[in-house]
Amino acid sequence: MRINAHSHVFNFKTFLTAEAKKILVARLNRGGLSKPFAEVIANYLEKRMDRATDNREAMGELYEMINTRRRGGLYLWEFLRIGFLPDVASVTADLLAKTRDLAGNHEEDSIVVALMVDVIGPTPSDDDALFHDQYRQTVEQAVRYPGLVLPFVAFNPDRVGRPKGENGLEIARAALESGACIGVKLYPSLAEHSPTYSGMEELFKLCNDLDAPIVMHANSGGFAASRATALRCYPGDWKDLIRNNPNVRIDFAHFADEDIFTDPKSAPYRWRNMLLDMIRDPAFGGRVYGDVSYQDEPLGGAAVRRAYFDRLKGYLSDEALRHNILWGTDYYMIYLSTSNSEYWDLFQNALGNQFTNIAEDNPKRFLGLPDQNGNMAPNIERHVEFLKRMQGTTLWENGSSKAKWLAGL
């Protein structure tokens, strides 16, 4: 079994709101494109993307634009190619094909965690409805690939207080209680979404009551709206919510990378050190995790890369840390810097046998998948019941046969 505990399967049609476009421009700019050229790409996506077609003509024009300007390279093109795929099913098929090839043993389960993202502003907008399409299509992949695609519903607290059907807490509760989703994705840096922001306390209580894990974006980059909002992801600021909700398992994604922007109002630790301290702290009962998806250090020069993996191997040899580090690539965001396969090979080759620790043993525990005795967490029990209800529908096993861990279904 191999588990990619951090990936995305939304396409531009189900993700690119006006707010997302602004953040994408900033992200492309930080990635090395000039701001004017980043805006050209984002404006092109907005104007030429037809949500009712497969966009092949637009893809061809965009490729010519990038090739002519000689910017971004093949990685950027692959990011845009995947984003332009016609639906979430196409993105999922691409991800699973790559994952099976990289995992090597096609007889074993290759599992991906599909993290949704809901990028909206504080006031309602017409394109806020894109998330509902993203949600529907992502959950469909869990039925098409039973047990191989595990959805996490996105929670954006700017939806709290909205009418029925649009309320963020209502959406999260329905997703978890029904078993359609097994956990929640938080992205505090999309806005000023601090632990005290409206709805956060209620969201953590919901996850506590339903034994649902949380994956939280936790670096100072990614799709942060600004340098200021990036600080909302600092792990130390979330201690009280974690401590007060003893059933919550939380993964601080990207291993708290790029930790030089520590909030002056927070404890004087670097982000990574704070995360490691929280993993070690018995007060949190082993419920704090970190995943190694899309970080800058392993993509740095030879000396930086070597130092990074020396530290990581040390963490994986430390009994207080080794059980709480997860594997993930951040497909397909990873193509903003490198390829999914290159990132995977980099870690697998550097870690050797320790790769199994982060790509199987630890994510099974974090997600709540069956242990050696067949015991599973309540969130997975609900998901199994959801899949049972979906048996016999037209989508059932439409992508592949069910996972081996679902043999008794």
Q: Give pLDDT, residue 260.
A: 47
Q: Give pLDDT, residue 268.
A: 44
* CATH code, domain with 189: 3.20.20.140
71 and 162 belong to one structural domain = no
Residue 149 resides in a domain: yes
110 and 218 belong to one structural domain = yes
CA distance 330 to 310: 22
Q: Give pLDDT, residue 300.
A: 86
Residue 167 resides in a domain: yes
CA distance 356 to 340: 18
Which of residues 82, 108, 139 is at a domain's end? 82
215 and 76 belong to one structural domain = no
Which of residues 82, 113, 136 is at a domain's end? 82
Indicate the number of domains in the chain. 2
* Residue that is written with structure tokens 């990873």 in the block: 334
Residue 398 resides in a domain: no
How far is residue 255 from each of residues 119, 226, 271, measured CA to CA in Å?
A: 22, 20, 9
260 secondary structure, DSSP code: G
264 and 366 belong to one structural domain = yes
360 and 326 belong to one structural domain = yes
How far is residue 28 from each of residues 53, 284, 302, measured CA to CA in Å?
A: 25, 37, 24
162 secondary structure, DSSP code: P
Contact indicator for 181, 151 with CB cutoff of 8 Å: yes
Give me 28's structure tokens.
């492309």
Residue 305 resides in a domain: yes
CA distance 83 to 332: 8
Domain carrying residue 380: 2-9+88-384
Residue 392 resides in a domain: no
Residue of 327, 244, 241 whose CA lies nearest to 289: 327
Rounded to the nearest 10 degrees, what angle do helices 88-103 and 340-351 cross at? Answer: 30
Residue 397 resides in a domain: no
Half-sphere exposure for 409 (CA within 13 Å, toward CB): 26
**Phi, psi at residue 5, to the nearest 5°?**
-85, 5
47 and 132 belong to one structural domain = no
* Residue that is written with structure tokens 């949380």 in the block: 214
29 and 162 belong to one structural domain = no
34 and 104 belong to one structural domain = no
165 and 282 belong to one structural domain = yes
**Phi, psi at residue 66, to the nearest 5°?**
-65, -45
200 and 346 belong to one structural domain = yes
Residue 394 resides in a domain: no
Residue of 181, 180, 153 whose CA lies nearest to 167: 153
CA distance 293 to 257: 10
The total number of residues shown for the chain amounts to 409
Contact indicator for 115, 152 with CB cutoff of 8 Å: yes
Q: Give pLDDT, residue 123.
A: 86
Q: Give pLDDT, residue 22.
A: 81
Q: Give pLDDT, residue 69.
A: 42
103 and 17 belong to one structural domain = no
Q: Give pLDDT, residue 262.
A: 43
Residue pLDDT tens, the chain, 409 long = 999 999 999 999 999 888 888 878 777 766 656 666 677 677 767 666 665 555 566 556 566 655 544 444 578 888 888 998 999 999 999 999 999 999 887 788 999 999 999 998 888 888 899 999 999 999 999 999 999 999 999 999 999 989 888 899 999 999 999 999 999 999 988 877 889 999 999 999 999 999 999 999 998 766 666 667 777 788 999 999 999 999 999 999 999 886 444 445 555 457 888 999 999 999 999 999 999 999 988 988 899 899 999 999 999 999 999 999 999 999 999 998 899 999 999 999 999 999 999 999 999 999 999 998 999 999 999 999 999 999 999 999 999 999 999 988 7
How far is residue 316 from each of residues 190, 349, 357, measured CA to CA in Å?
A: 31, 15, 8
39 and 177 belong to one structural domain = no
Residue 399 resides in a domain: no
